Amino acid sequence: MLRGRQLRAQGVKDPQVDTVRFAEVKSGKIVMPKQPAAMYQLFGGTFDAASGKVNRAQTLFVIYIPGATPASTGLSDKPAEGSPWIMFAGTPKAHIMLTPKM
């Protein structure tokens, strides 16, 4: 993710960002972590500063496993609400999506 932010700051546009990152992974310039990583995100909705609560936000849970595929995880690569699935299977940015509501 850091490399993507750096490339965008240099003026590289999507989808060229992934082209550059994938080439850098393949060449060994970027070394992918061996262990999975996770991200939890809230988006949309509103934040009530007085209560510290987020209202009407959508949740997204992601587990990054570079190179993961349906064969290596037993998960589908087809999006399914309420079920985990692999996005960008077989690539350096492969990850398991956990989307309670799509």
Q: Are residues 80 and 39 in the same domain?
A: yes
The count of domains in the chain is 2
* Whether residue 10 is found in the same domain as residue 53: no
3-state secondary structure the chain: CHHHHHHHHCCCCCCHHHHHHHHHHHHCCCCCCCCCEEEEEEECCEEECCCCEEECCEEEEEEECCCCCHHHHCCCCCCCCCCCEEECCCCCCCEEEECCCC
Same domain, 21 and 38: no
Q: Are residues 49 and 5 in the same domain?
A: no
Percent of the chain topping pLDDT 90: 70
Over range 80-93, report the average pLDDT.
92
Question: Could you tell me if 15 and 54 lie in one domain?
Answer: no
pLDDT at position 49 over 90: yes
Predicted confidence (pLDDT) at residue 32 exceeds the cutoff of 70: yes
